[in-house]
Amino acid sequence: MMHAEGHDVLEGDMKKLVMDGIRGSRFCKDLSNVELDAISMNMEYFVFQDEQAIISQGQDGDHFFVASLGHLEVTISGTVARIMGAGESFGDIALLYNCPRTATVSAKGGKVGVWAVGAILFRQILQEHAILNQAENLRMLEKVSLLDGLSGGQKSRIGAMALLNESIQANFVVCCEGEKPTALYVVKSGTMKVVQGGTRSPTGELDGGTTLATLSAGQCFGEKELASGCNFEASLVADTNCELVCVSSQKLAELLGDDVAGQLEKAYVGSVLGKASQFKNFTAPQRTHMLATEVVFETLAASTRIADSRSGGLGPSLIVVVDGELKKTGDDEGALARGGWCQDYLLDELGLI
């Protein structure tokens, strides 16, 4: 980037423009004036020529930007998503979720000026702000069934390191169908729509598509994708003005290890086994060893019948339902749902399939 001389101090109308631009970021809407000042005071001014890329999709990010001059074109996988102007911010997602840039932003129609702040300071201020809301955010984490098996201490570490708050306007597209997940989203207030299909308009909104679900306070989006490692099967769009609590998938990997889904599944099974009478006298190290060496995860298609018992003469084992349910054919009353468990020699007696 080319630093432009003569723009070393933000003041007057330009400072107001930049401060409003920072506040316009969905992560910064609730920051105090002191926090906004801390960001703006450390910004530098840069100039880009027509068609020059400020950030490029897929690359690592090291700055957060506010445009102050000219127009910028946002493209995602070669398709124009929107046009931005002075006072609009960009570059926050890659910094806060520790993921590659999700779009390319280029100068359009002439010279462009932007103010930029480094990633380290930007992350630090947002993380310190999130800690102020940690107690409430931890209550929201209790709504995420995927995290059910984690201990209070593990959830506290997630609250301190992996949570972000987002405030977004109605019709804003939080994430798009086909994108690789960077976070798990919990609705704190307002309503969100889960939409499949549709096209992005020049203003960045999603036109058309089929609404699969409407999410309200306490409901989550992204659990399935985080657990499976798949891309989003639908887009998440704000139905009204909303507040979200977001769990960074990258930070989860730093806390739990690269196999986040596997670690969460094992933690959940461990929490279920801890309630079973057969395992109540096991010490924590014994349960940890058992989870690491004895637990096998299986994905079964609908209507698959489970074998009476495991082979090898090892005797009956315990089956824990992590997702979906086991039930008798045509009888919902005997179903074992998530968190239910049963020794597998009883499954045939119960008529479970």
Structure confidence at residue 284 (pLDDT): 67
| pTM (global) more than 0.75 | no
Is 80 exceeded by the pLDDT of residue 109?
A: yes
Number of CB atoms found within 10 A of residue 65's CB: 24
CA 88 – CA 7 distance, rounded (Å): 18
Greater confidence (24 vs 283) lies with: 24
Q: What is the pLDDT of residues 40-61, one digit of tens each?
A: 999 999 999 999 999 999 999 9
Q: Does residue 334 carry a pLDDT above 70? A: no
Does residue 134 register a pLDDT over 70?
A: yes
Query: Which tokens go with 3?
Result: 């630093």
- The structure tokens listed for 87 are 């006072």
List the beta bridge partners of residue 164. 246
What tokens appear for 108 in the block? 């359009």
**What is the maximum alpha-carbon separation in the chain?**
82
**Beta strand pairing call for 210-215 and 206-207:** unpaired
Distance CA 51, CA 73 (A): 9
Please give the structure tokens belonging to residue 310.
């495991």
Residues in the chain: 353
Lowest mean pLDDT among 92-96, 139-143, 248-252, 344-348: 344-348
The pairing of beta strand 104-118 with beta strand 53-55: antiparallel
Of residues 286 and 225, the one with the higher pLDDT is 225
Ranking 103-112, 156-165, 186-195, 256-265 by mean pLDDT, the lowest is 256-265
Structurally, at CATH architecture level, domain 2-121 sits in Sandwich (2.60)
Domain with CATH 2.60.120.10 in the chain: 2-121, 143-263
% of the chain exceeding 70 in pLDDT: 86
What is the average per-residue pLDDT within 235-258? Answer: 86
DSSP three-state, residue 140:
helix
Q: Give the span between the Cα atoms of 267 and 307, in whole angstroms.
A: 25
Among the ranges given (39-48, 94-103, 268-277), the one the predictor scored with the smallest mean pLDDT? 268-277
| HSE-CB for 324 with a 13 A CA cutoff | 10
Give the residue, 33 or 297, on which the prediction is more confident.
Answer: 33
Average pLDDT rounded to a whole number, residues 286-299: 73
Q: So what CATH class is 143-263?
A: mainly beta
Residue 2: band (very low, low, confident or very high) from pLDDT cuts 50, 70, 90 = low
